[in-house]
Structure 1
């Protein structure tokens, strides 16, 4: 249902402890047992922010990003230096998803900023271990992939080479390039 260490499919921070009905039962009771309508979520996102919210447009199409069928990066851009999510230009789904799930609440912004610092450091360490052919490199790579806010690592890999040095720092660029090659980005 989710990548890595069973994280919330919405905030990517907390452990997923709840099953959220993406399309709420109040709006679609016949989807109660549809597998793709069941998403792993933390209790905060499920019970405190989303609850039964399910905004739709005039045609009845959902205005939330469905992580089972859509790449969130089409609608959301993670601003690595600030830790904030921003809608991709013109994406109503991005705007609504940020609003409904409170994706820029202070704890998530701080968590992403901390994750960015750790990811840069871990990527440099991983790269050094790879160069030394140390088998611990694989374990470090897996730990990074299983960490909270893995969207930070994915955002780093999507950086254009022309801005990568400004965002991640010149010391991290070689490690980022090696990470992209090793992990198919």
Structure 2
């Protein structure tokens, strides 16, 4: 994900409120930040520009950047206001989240490495989740490949939330149908239809499943990861199909 530039007036408002927090005594910055963010007039000045930019960045149709399933409706502070008040109005600290991930799962949780203090949650604008999380097919549960991956699974309940696991199974079945339909349409010379199949595949909820399928098809152990689904693996490895789908990722 690449962050676009915000409208100039939004940038100016963010800078103004950041200065107000910085001007407060260090012991008062947390309360100042939370107070400013809670003001209707303040949010009215910054929310439209920030939310518009985040929705343009989000996968599919404004999907939550954490679970990939529900619609992203909330501006989440990646590093919570309570822990980093000076980042309360920092554009690089905002992610689009669904209300469930934001209010029920993450809240003020922000685990850090005990020895280095490094943040353990993944920021999808800086980190590639595929390097930290592996989708176990066809179970459609996640396995952490790093401490960051483990932290995300735990904080966001990626394997505990039955609706997410069930949704990924459906997304997996649908993704397999999409690559098969693309092949059929392409073989028939229906290239416009094939392009539409690829576009729609990425616009569906839980597009992370499709991304994981392409990623794992290039893994040295791909034959084991796709055991019993050799036809799908062959399609995912097809250079023409990969080029068509991944150009829209």
Query: TM over 0.5: same fold?
Result: yes
Distance (Å, rounded) in 2 between the aligned partners of 1:143 and 1:108 = 20
Deviations 1:55-85 (A, max 9, x none): 1123321111111100011111111211101
The answer on 1:154 being equivalent to 2:211 is yes
Residues 1-185 of structure 1 aligned to structure 2 (within 5 Å): 1-58=57-114, 59-88=116-145, 91-104=146-159, 105-134=161-190, 135-158=192-215, 159=217, 160=219, 161-163=222-224, 165-166=226-227, 169-178=229-238, 179-184=241-246
Q: Is the 8 A contact 1:164 1:173 kept in 2?
A: no
Distance (Å, rounded) in 1 between the aligned partners of 2:131 and 2:231 = 29
Q: Structure 1: where are the runs of 5+ without partners?
A: none
> Closer, same or farther in 2 for the Cα pair 1:47/1:126, shift >3 Å?
same
Which has the higher relative contact order, 1 or 2, with Cα contacts under 8 A spaced 6 or more apart?
A: 1
Q: Is the 8 A contact 1:80 1:152 kept in 2?
A: no
Distance (Å, rounded) in 2 between the aligned partners of 1:164 and 1:106 = 22
State the TM-score, normalized to the length of structure 1.
0.91
Q: Structure 2: where are the runs of 5+ without partners?
A: 1-56
How far is the alpha carbon of 1:184 from its aligned partner? 4.7
State the TM-score, normalized to the length of structure 2.
0.69
Deviations 1:140-170 (A, max 9, x none): 1100011111111111112235346526x23
> Closer, same or farther in 2 for the Cα pair 1:165/1:30, shift >3 Å?
closer
- Secondary structure (helix, strand or coil) at the match of 2:227 reads helix
Distance (Å, rounded) in 2 between the aligned partners of 1:144 and 1:51 = 31
> Closer, same or farther in 2 for the Cα pair 1:170/1:67, shift >3 Å?
same
- Secondary structure (helix, strand or coil) at the match of 1:57 reads coil
Q: Is the 8 A contact 1:75 1:93 kept in 2?
A: yes
RMSD, matched Cα = 1.7
